[in-house]
A = this chain, B = another copy of it.
Amino acid sequence: MLTIGTLAKKTGTKVQTIRYYEQIGLMPEPGRTEGGQRRYGNAELDRLSFVRHARQLGFSLDAIRELLDLSDHPGKSCAEADAIARRQLKQVEQRLARLEALRTELKRMVHECSGGQTSDCRVLEVLRDHSECLTEHEDIGA
């Protein structure tokens, strides 16, 4: 039987985060000691590992909820899980494209800084100059 702290260490999660997952129904309510402290078993350890791994892959908590549901019903079609993963992959590729553009522009900004006064600063100039903006009025993703 694991305390919440031990579970936290084993999965690289904060204690509060585990309680938060319980609160939003992503983790089940565990057993308690007489004094009211949570005690976990291996099933919970596996489930939390699944959740953390999926989070590291960028899945939203909602997507993870779906994946857990699929995982709980082994007879269901794999297609849904595949669709979720594909959606995730698409999002990741979009973010990559954006970030690569940002890197280019930031590099340019840094290289062109002459080290003088801010009035000559390319960093500020690039940000001021709207016409150099590559991606106009695009939404700002995370």
Contact = CB atoms under 8 A, between A and B. Distances in A.
Interface residues of A, number: 63
A127 B67 CA distance: 9
Main secondary structure of the interface of A (DSSP, over half): helix
Interface string A17-36: 00000000000000000000
Contacts of A86: 110
A120 B85 contact: no
Interface in A121-142: 121, 123-124, 127-128, 130, 133, 135-138, 140, 142
Interface of A: 11-12, 46, 49-50, 53-58, 67, 70-71, 73-82, 84-86, 88-89, 92-93, 95-96, 99-100, 102-103, 105-107, 109-110, 113-121, 123-124, 127-128, 130, 133, 135-138, 140, 142
